[in-house]
């Protein structure tokens, strides 16, 4: 179980892979977080698995994000992340994942191919907690970490339950961005 959580943390914290990321970079990193789960858990995802989130960046950019499995084929699994950032616009990120290895093969943000984010995580603390989010109350593993490769040494927190929540297991996540703290909170999910 601990190995599984470390893998989930890898993608949960990839968000902070650069110092002061832009909104698009932040969203690319959120999606890349999800992919790393496959390396120890395997991808037991089905077409239509969906997680819906409230997204708040710095208290002034408020919106929503939907992460879903779009298709599974010979080339891999296509995962979509659609974010509506209110006045800041919409972002669409697509990721192609090797279903056998969990390797990220391609990341496309708003039609432009992106470099796959990298990070060097330092786990500061882990503990079991119950957490209440709009989707309900869940048992979780609360992990606090920081990305040693980033010049921004702010802490990243994530509450995870990958056995219940599809497409990555994130119940809630907070991380620093150039626009202030980003908070992602699970509203609902559908697991096929």
Mean pLDDT calculated for residue range 62-81 = 91
Q: What is the mean pLDDT of the chain?
A: 76
pLDDT at 39 over 60: no
- Minimal CA–CA distance to 109: which of 119, 100, 96? 96
pLDDT at 171 over 50: yes
Mean pLDDT calculated for residue range 151-159 = 78
> How far is it between the farthest Cα atoms of the chain?
42
- Show the domains of the chain with their CATH numbers: 2-190 (2.50.20)
- Rounded to two decimals, the pTM is 0.78
Mean pLDDT calculated for residue range 176-192 = 89
Mean pLDDT calculated for residue range 39-45 = 56
Q: Please, are residues 79 and 65 in contact by the beta-carbon 8 Å criterion?
A: no
Mean pLDDT calculated for residue range 67-83 = 90
- Residue with the larger pLDDT of the pair 121 and 77: 77
* pLDDT on residue 20: 35
Quote the Cα angle for 174-4-147, to 5°. 40
* pLDDT on residue 130: 97
**37 three-state secondary structure:** coil
Among 14-23, 57-66, 71-80, which stretch is predicted with the lowest mean pLDDT? 14-23
Model confidence band, residue 63 (pLDDT cutoffs 50, 70, 90): very high
> Which tens digits make up the pLDDT trace of 106-147?
888 888 898 876 666 677 888 999 999 999 999 998 988 877
Q: What is the 3-state secondary structure (H, E, C) of 135-154?
A: CEEEEEEEEEEEECCCCCCC
* pLDDT on residue 37: 38
DSSP state, 115? P
């Amino acid at each position: 179980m601990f190995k599984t959580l470390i893998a989930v943390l890898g993608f949960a914290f990839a968000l902070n892979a650069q110092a002061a990321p832009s909104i698009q970079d932040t969203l690319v990193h959120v999606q890349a977080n999800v992919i790393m789960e496959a390396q120890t858990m395997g991808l037991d995802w089905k077409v239509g698995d969906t997680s819906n989130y409230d997204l708040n960046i710095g208290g002034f950019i408020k919106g929503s994000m939907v992460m879903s499995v779009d298709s599974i084929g010979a080339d891999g699994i296509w995962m979509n992340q659609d974010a509506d950032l209110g006045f800041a616009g919409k972002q669409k990120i697509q990721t192609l994942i090797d279903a056998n290895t969990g390797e990220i093969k391609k990341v496309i943000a708003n039609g432009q191919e992106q470099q796959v984010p990298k990070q060097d995580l330092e786990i500061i603390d882990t503990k079991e907690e119950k957490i209440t989010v709009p989707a309900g109350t869940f048992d979780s593993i609360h992990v606090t970490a920081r990305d040693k490769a980033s010049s921004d040494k702010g802490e990243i927190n994530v509450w995870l339950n990958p056995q219940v929540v599809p497409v990555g297991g994130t119940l809630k996540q907070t991380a620093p961005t150039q626009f202030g703290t980003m908070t992602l909170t699970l509203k609902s999910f559908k697991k096929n």
